């Protein structure tokens, strides 16, 4: 048991992430001066985070504290020891007249620290450390990899996939997205394990800093989505397997590497995300996905059943006392699933969609110049339609919810004191749900009808049951 705990502690160590960042070219330009307290095995340690030369970081466990929350006497004793140690050091930065300043600066920095609810000390400006990028290639690669797990990527990827590649595969991919992200985001808000400490980690991106860290949902979807797309397309089309495996590996590795490079997750978060992504995909999704997809598209009562499941998903989401963006993102995913399958059901019920005359696997139809022109036209017109739908329904739903709750829109937007946290959450979740349900419906029903009307439809779209 102790061995397992040591392994977990090692994989959670923020210094592993820091070394990964330095190896791939992240260099800090302003260093924290204050010691940091960190928790390990139920005890608190004070760690000196001042880096030494040659890009290495040295830390010394100078004081072991018996209590989980350092007492005032222990902190004072540590500061005195740090000051003495600074005066006695032989390094240029801690010699002569600078040594006294070093001790004072540590005391000053310590005074500006703030204690979190868990009893850990963090700098008030710990999230704003300056850094430089010394390896632009790796920076661009990992930023791109991070984008492969963003909602913005999927908001573009899914429409283009439906309109230009395969609707049946697209619907199943949306179900994978929903299942993986819901489980991952819920686990984050239940376990409430924080992201790696900063410092020593440098937050290259701060977009998800308000979310908890374990498990990495980027890693979960980063392995599940490319694996699922590979499996679904191999079942439906005749093409070499290697053409699916290589992009899937690149997708997965770039996403997982980005979580460490950007300072968003520990190694443990990433490994757990990979394991959970495979587990959920293989055990809970793939065995049932064909039957679920068929039911949701063809059954008369599927809109009622799906609406009930989505409503329960939103209502039963494990929201804690502390607000995090994870809940809002999960509501968006639930709404998109409802909108897409409502549109697919509408296509089927109006006899717009029917099964193909032949069974898969199909030969791939490689696009001609004319087909490329249609792809460009569908993508441009379709994305404009999605943006317009989002803008219109966002404004209408926001105003409607505020009116129903008898709230002033400006008060809600500025989060003024007369708007309770509960009211703010209701407004946010409601308008997001209505907006993105409409967007999903537009992607699968309205936009393809427009394409048919102006003569740029993809003929196979209405045969992909």
Answer yes or no: 218 catalytic.
Answer: yes
Q: d(Cα 168, Cα 297) in Å, to the nearest integer?
A: 10
Helices (H), 133-166: 136-147, 151-164
DSSP label at 283?
Answer: I
Q: d(Cα 318, Cα 212) in Å, to the nearest integer?
A: 13
Neighbours of 448 (CB within 10 A): 24
Q: d(Cα 267, Cα 265) in Å, to the nearest integer?
A: 7
Q: How far is CA 114 from CA 74, 109, 142, in A?
A: 16, 10, 32
Q: Which of 54, 139, 265, 351 is catalytic?
A: 265
Q: d(Cα 227, Cα 328) in Å, to the nearest integer?
A: 26
Burial 397-413 (b: 16+ CB within 10 A, else e): bbeebbeeeebeeeebe
Q: Which of 54, 85, 139, 218 is catalytic?
A: 218
Angle at 136 between CA 135 and CA 142, to 5 degrees: 95
> Are the CB atoms for 447 and 385 separated by under 8 Å?
yes
Q: d(Cα 429, Cα 210) in Å, to the nearest integer?
A: 17
Point out the residues that are catalytic: 218, 265
């Amino acid at each position: 048991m102790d061995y397992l705990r040591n392994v977990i502690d090692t994989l959670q160590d923020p210094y592993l992430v820091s070394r990964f960042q330095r190896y791939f070219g992240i260099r800090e330009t302003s260093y924290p001066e204050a010691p940091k307290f960190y928790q390990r095995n139920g005890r608190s340690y004070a760690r000196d985070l001042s880096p030494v030369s040659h890009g290495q970081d040295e830390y010394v466990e100078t004081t072991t504290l018996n209590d989980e929350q350092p007492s005032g006497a222990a902190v004072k004793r540590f500061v005195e020891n740090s000051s003495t140690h600074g005066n006695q050091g032989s390094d240029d930065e801690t010699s002569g007249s600078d040594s006294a300043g070093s001790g004072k600066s540590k005391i000053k920095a310590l005074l500006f620290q703030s204690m979190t609810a868990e009893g850990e000390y963090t700098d008030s400006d710990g999230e704003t450390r300056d850094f430089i990028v010394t390896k632009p290639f790796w920076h661009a690669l990992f930023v791109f990899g991070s984008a492969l797990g963003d909602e913005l990527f999927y908001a573009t990827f899914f429409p283009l996939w439906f309109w230009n590649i395969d609707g049946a595969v697209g619907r199943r991919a949306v179900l994978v997205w929903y299942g993986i992200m819901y489980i991952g985001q819920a686990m984050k808000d239940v376990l409430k394990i924080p992201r790696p400490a900063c410092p020593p980690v440098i937050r290259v991106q701060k977009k998800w800093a308000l979310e908890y860290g374990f498990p990495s949902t980027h890693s979960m979807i980063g392995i599940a989505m490319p694996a699922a797309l590979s499996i679904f397309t191999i079942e439906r089309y005749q093409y070499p397997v290697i053409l699916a495996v290589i992009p899937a590996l690149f997708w997965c590795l770039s996403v997982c590497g980005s979580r460490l490079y950007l300072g968003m997750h520990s190694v443990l978060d990433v490994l757990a995300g990979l394991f959970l992504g495979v587990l959920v995909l293989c055990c809970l999704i793939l065995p049932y996905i064909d039957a679920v997809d068929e039911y949701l598209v063809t059954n008369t009562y599927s809109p009622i059943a799906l609406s009930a499941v989505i409503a329960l998903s939103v209502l039963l989401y494990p929201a804690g006392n502390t607000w995090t963006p994870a809940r809002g993102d999960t509501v968006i995913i639930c709404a998109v699933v409802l909108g897409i399958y409502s549109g697919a059901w509408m296509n089927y019920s109006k006899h717009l969609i029917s099964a193909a005359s032949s069974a898969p696997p199909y030969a791939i139809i490689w696009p001609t110049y004319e087909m490329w022109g249609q792809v460009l036209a569908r993508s441009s017109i379709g994305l404009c339609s999605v943006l317009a739908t989002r803008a219109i329904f966002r404004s209408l739903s926001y105003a409607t919810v505020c009116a129903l709750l008898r709230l002033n829109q400006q008060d809600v937007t500025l989060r003024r004191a007369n708007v309770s946290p509960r009211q703010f959450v209701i407004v946010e979740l409601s308008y997001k749900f209505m907006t993105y349900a409409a967007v999903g419906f537009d992607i699968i029903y309205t936009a393809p009808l427009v394409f048919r009307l102006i003569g740029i439809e993809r003929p196979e779209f209405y045969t992909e049951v």
